[in-house]
Amino acid sequence: MEDLNILAIETSCDETAAAVVRNGREVVSQALYTQIEIHKEYGGVVPEIASRNHVKKLPHVVEAAVRGAGGFERIDAVGVTNGPGLVGALLTGVSYAKGLAYTLEKPLVPVHHIAGHICANYVSHPELKPPFLCLVASGGHTQIVWAENYTEYETLGRTRDDAAGEAIDKVARVLGLPYPGGPNLQELAKRGDKTKYKFPHSFRGEDHLDFSFSGLKTAVINLLHKFGQQGQEYKKEDVAASFLKNVADTLVKNTFEAARRMDARALAVAGGVSANEQIRAAFEKKAKETGTALYFPEPKYCTDNAVMIASCAYYEFRKGRRAGLDLNAQPVMEL
């Protein structure tokens, strides 16, 4: 088969990213502009500001990725995240990708953001092939997915309220940590006692594979409120460690139960939350106990990036997936 270089664009949230990936697995070039410093001031992502900055940075980010790949003539197709995500943010990437595909006279391939997160594992693990089970845990989503092949997925369980990353960011915020909460909470938790506080586990003992993180989040907020009212001394490190242990236990429990039910030989974890060291350790421990092959993307491909989108676009392209110039941003989109 001939080599295929796909240029992909990702703008579903606050990362402006472009990358060129060869044959779905080999990173040729990449460029990423993170808006973290901008949104930090507001304690979270401000959608309008995110869109405006995508518009400003996209030309430079795409140019850098294309230059790194040796020029536009090396590009065989254009992939783009068209959902789910922030509608204004998605629109900037979709519009840009449509313009590029039209001018270059190359096919346009739409990519589902969650499928992209799953495909990050193909870049980090050349030997990984479907079928496998994948937990995708990010700021916007937490779902257990059966990857039947490179383009077909079945969702076996999902969060009924907050995404894991959303709860993590909120708890980090009430502990006074700056945005983005996840990495900061991870560092704080390293110095804490994870057995110090017992927070409730939602849905324990039920037979579905769904998640719920809002009760846990509220339990942490209530505890901190109580400490505040009583003027009680506590260590933020212990709260962070106990909370993260609870999140990790819940993610591990449902994911390994799904793996058991599906008789999965391989298990992957993806999405921003899968960069978390404590959560990775909890999965590694359970994988060892159960003899399951476990895969994580490299940390830089756990959080939003365009490499994963280019990988996914490759497999969609091979399957014959194409979009016309009527491609639209879809803030909500089933996998």
Known binding-site residues for substrate equal 136-140, 169, 182, 276
Q: Closer CB to ligand KG4, residue 160 or residue 173?
A: 173
SS3 304: coil
**Span of 39-47, 123-131, 225-233, 304-312 interacting with Zn ion by CB under 5 A:** 304-312
Binding site residues for Fe cation, as ranges? 113, 117, 304
Partner that binds at residue 116, options ligand KG4, Zn ion, none, CB closer than 5 to 8 Å by kind: none
| Contact between 82 and Zn ion per CB under 5 A | no
Q: Closer CB to ligand KG4, residue 43 or residue 99?
A: 43
Give dist(CA 261, CA 268) in Å, integer: 15
Give dist(CA 19, CA 310) in Å, integer: 7
Q: Closer CB to ligand KG4, residue 66 or residue 94?
A: 94
SS3 87: helix
| Contact between 304 and Zn ion per CB under 5 A | yes
Least separation in angstroms between residue 326's CB and ligand KG4 is: 25
Interface with Zn ion: number of residues (CB under 5 A): 2
The DSSP-derived string for 207-229 is SS--B--HHHHHHHHHHHHHHHH
- Is residue 17 a contact partner of residue 9, using CB atoms and an 8 Å limit? yes
Strand bridging mode 5-10 / 15-22: antiparallel
**Span of 31-39, 64-72, 255-263, 298-306 interacting with Zn ion by CB under 5 A:** 298-306
The footprint of ligand KG4 (CB under 6 A) covers 13, 138-140, 165, 168-169, 180-183, 186, 271-273, 275-276, 303-304
Least separation in angstroms between residue 113's CB and ligand KG4 is: 6
Which residues make beta-bridge pairs with 27? 21
Please state, in angstroms and as integers, the Cα–Cα distance from residue 203 to each residue in 89, 207, 208, 211, 215, following that order.
34, 9, 8, 7, 10
Residue type, 335: L
Partner that binds at residue 55, options ligand KG4, Zn ion, none, CB closer than 5 to 8 Å by kind: none
| Contact between 138 and Zn ion per CB under 5 A | yes
Per the structure block, which two tokens stand in for 118? 């799953």
Least separation in angstroms between residue 73's CB and Zn ion is: 31
| Residue of 319, 307, 313, 220 whose CA lies nearest to 270 | 307
Give dist(CA 18, CA 35) in Å, integer: 14
| Contact between 14 and Zn ion per CB under 5 A | no
Binding site residues, as ranges? 113, 117, 136-140, 169, 182, 276, 304
Contact residues: Zn ion, CB under 5 A: 138, 304
